[in-house]
Homo-oligomer: A and B are copies of this chain.
Amino acid sequence: MGTAFDDTSRSRQPHRVAIPPAKPFLQTLKSNLKETLFPDDPFRELKKQPSASRKLLLGLQYFIPILEWAPRYTFAFFRADLVAGITIASLAVPQGISYAQLASLPPIVGLYSSFVPPLVYAMLGSSRDVAVGTVAVASLLISTMLGKEVSPVENPKLYFQLAVTATFFAGVFEASLGFLRLGFIVDFLSHATIVGFMSGAATVVCLQQLKGILGLVHFTHETDIVSVMRSIFTQTHQSKRKSYFFWINAMAPLTSVVLGSVLVYFTHAEKHGVQVVSMNTRRNLKKGLNPLSITDLAFGSPHLMVAIKTGIITGIIALAEGVAVGRSFAQYKNYHIDGNKEMIAFGTMNIVGSLTSCYLTSGPFSRTAVNYNAGCKTAVSNIVMAVAVMFTLLFLTPLFHYTPLVVLSSIIMAAMLGLIDYEAAFHLWKVDKYDFAVCLGAYVGVVFGSVETGLVIAVAISLVRMLLFLARPKTGLLGNIPNSMIYRSMDQYPNAESVPGVMILQIDAPVYFANANYLRERISRWIDEEEDKLKSRGGSSLQFVILDMTSIGNIDTSGISMLEEVKKNTDRKELKLVLANPRSEVIKKLDKSQFIKTIGQEWIYLTVAEAVAACNYMLHTCNPKHVTTAEANGQDSNV
């Protein structure tokens, strides 16, 4: 081992660069499509099975995961799921009515939404930890986007219809993403975007909830900070600050609701200015399970486009949270969940929800974390929660008539303050300034503009960053690490030494049309600068330019033209162009475009070290100009 290089300075080409055999186009396309759409190879197990009936069972289990784990379900699991389910139900009830209030929907819709969707998810979901429920940010989005179109106070029936229609489209959109295996679209919402976006939305929600806490009646429905602040400052002068129950927001949500309601019931505070749930809605809280809402789907409404837009935006935001939460906890417990399958589960749950008077649900982080901490084992905890909510719907709803709004506002604020994640933002600033800019863009966009503005800003900054990486790839000179055959960037390793007469240039990105012109100019500038430097030192002149192509993952025809022009340029300057380690995709295309013939197969080396050795051999044993003419097969006759 380790002796392979010892004779490279004598033998010209110890290792050939392999040109992989050309694959048929359709085969390449198929394998690329598979890698793009089925990166996790979901049917791997299925393919291993020999019998057809076993395949059918596995296929069914793939689409309906409960069939897979139910037979193995034990009583010990159930005991754990029961405890977890009751725990999350105690969170689901107050959060349900609070978030429904945030979405400007009747509180009972929040309870409906904690009954049907968890049952659907328990059948189809592949996560064992996700607890299904409504989410604050999506609720806020619904009230902002639909509230602009239809007033929930003046026209509550139409508003409710638009909300379930939006939920329907959110579900269709989510399920389609999953079916079409386009789940990776959600990945374009980066961690930094989510941090900034959530913090911004939480800030807006907290400001809005001052309405409930300060007991303001004429509160703006706009979400941006300017109108909220103006609204607060103009109204606090008019109305008396009713902060009787302000201290409650530190306590557990259910305790707050129960205590608040009991207090109002006995003191009749609702008659002395404390706003309670029933006052805030046109639909009273009625006992009973979810009524069907198929006829409420407003497909013929003139506001249909707004409902669709709201559905798609809230759908993707809810999906991003739900899938990320599911993935994190799966990783934690070391099991695998399939993102695209999760999307189908979330989508189906929202489609069914929209038919049964529910609005948008997802897998909220807070409720899932409680579920996990309470020791849930499977999705049965969601079923337990649904049953508990069902009992509430059947027997306990009249009690919420006395729940003061201030309690709900406090619950929302308590949840929201946890979402303002300044520590994460600080971490972004410390590690990656660009990610911090993305996060800040999302935050500022949401707080000072609108939710959509924030999203667009953050996604645009993120994409520009990636495109800039491609449009302006890093290039740099390599040098020899002393006492080794290793060549590394002289910027990163200041002790690396340049090789006399040889310039080794590394390109750090695929060569595409977007950077071909830049690279051509940059490479020619590197050569000019190197020649100037050598001239000013009066030492040996530049004879060889080695391009280290290790990091060039792919190339297109514009990139090949660029290489051809670099070759013409070096020919003109009487320099020899040498390639080191072209990768599979690149060497294939260089071969097809005849560039290998232009440059000469003998000037392509497997490693930089071998290329340098060959150059050194040329420099020391013969006149390089003579070599150039002899090697170039008469192509550069002016040399």
Residue of B nearest to A468 (CB): B36
**Looking at the complex, which one of B29, B431, B484, B554 makes contact with A557 (CB distance below 8 Å)?**
B431
**Looking at the complex, which one of B1, B190, B428, B469 makes contact with A5 (CB distance below 8 Å)?**
B1
> What mask results when residues 575 to 586 of chain A are scored 1 for a CB within 8 Å of chain B, else 0?
000000101110
Residue of B nearest to A616 (CB): B1
Q: Does A191 contact B (CB under 8 A)?
A: yes
Q: By the criterion CB–CB under 8 Å, are A481 and B15 in contact? A: yes
Q: A481 CA to B1 CA in the complex, in Å?
A: 11
A472-B39, A492-B583, A522-B39 as given contacts; A191 in contact with B466, CB under 8 Å: no
Q: By the criterion CB–CB under 8 Å, are A556 and B435 in contact? A: yes
A331-B565, A472-B36, A473-B553 as given contacts; A592 in contact with B431, CB under 8 Å: yes
**Looking at the complex, which one of B433, B524, B606 makes contact with A488 (CB distance below 8 Å)?**
B606
- Kindly list chain B residues whose C-beta atoms are within 8 Å of the C-beta of A35: 472
> What mask results when residues 464 to 481 of chain A are scored 1 for a CB within 8 Å of chain B, else 0?
011111111110000001
Q: By the criterion CB–CB under 8 Å, are B2 and A6 in contact? A: yes
- Kindly list chain B residues whose C-beta atoms are within 8 Å of the C-beta of A467: 463, 466
- Kindly list chain B residues whose C-beta atoms are within 8 Å of the C-beta of A18: 492-494
- Kindly list chain B residues whose C-beta atoms are within 8 Å of the C-beta of A28: 433
Number of interface residues of A (CB under 8 A): 101
Q: By the criterion CB–CB under 8 Å, are B2 and A8 in contact? A: yes
Q: A26 CA to B28 CA in the complex, in Å?
A: 45
Chain B interface: which of A198-206, A343-351, A509-517?
A509-517
Q: Does A525 contact B (CB under 8 A)?
A: yes
Residue of B nearest to A14 (CB): B484
Q: A432 CA to B593 CA in the complex, in Å?
A: 9
Q: A468 CA to B522 CA in the complex, in Å?
A: 26
**Looking at the complex, which one of B2, B524, B558 makes contact with A191 (CB distance below 8 Å)?**
B558
Q: By the criterion CB–CB under 8 Å, are A514 and B188 in contact? A: yes
- Kindly list chain B residues whose C-beta atoms are within 8 Å of the C-beta of A188: 513-514
Q: Does A192 contact B (CB under 8 A)?
A: yes
**Looking at the complex, which one of B512, B522, B561 makes contact with A466 (CB distance below 8 Å)?**
B512
Q: By the criterion CB–CB under 8 Å, are B191 and A561 in contact? A: yes
Complex interface residues of chain A between 416 and 467 (CB less than 8 A to chain B): 427-428, 430-435, 462-463, 465-467
Listed from nearest, the 4 A-B pairs whose CB atoms lie closest are: A190-B513, A2-B5, A4-B484, A492-B584
New contact pairs (6) apart from A1-B9, A190-B514, A432-B557, CB-CB < 8 Å: A18-B493, A187-B516, A435-B556, A462-B514, A488-B606, A508-B583
What are 19 of the A-B contact pairs (CB < 8 Å)? A1-B6, A1-B9, A5-B484, A5-B485, A36-B471, A39-B472, A184-B514, A189-B513, A190-B512, A191-B558, A334-B569, A430-B592, A431-B593, A463-B467, A466-B470, A469-B554, A488-B581, A491-B584, A550-B550
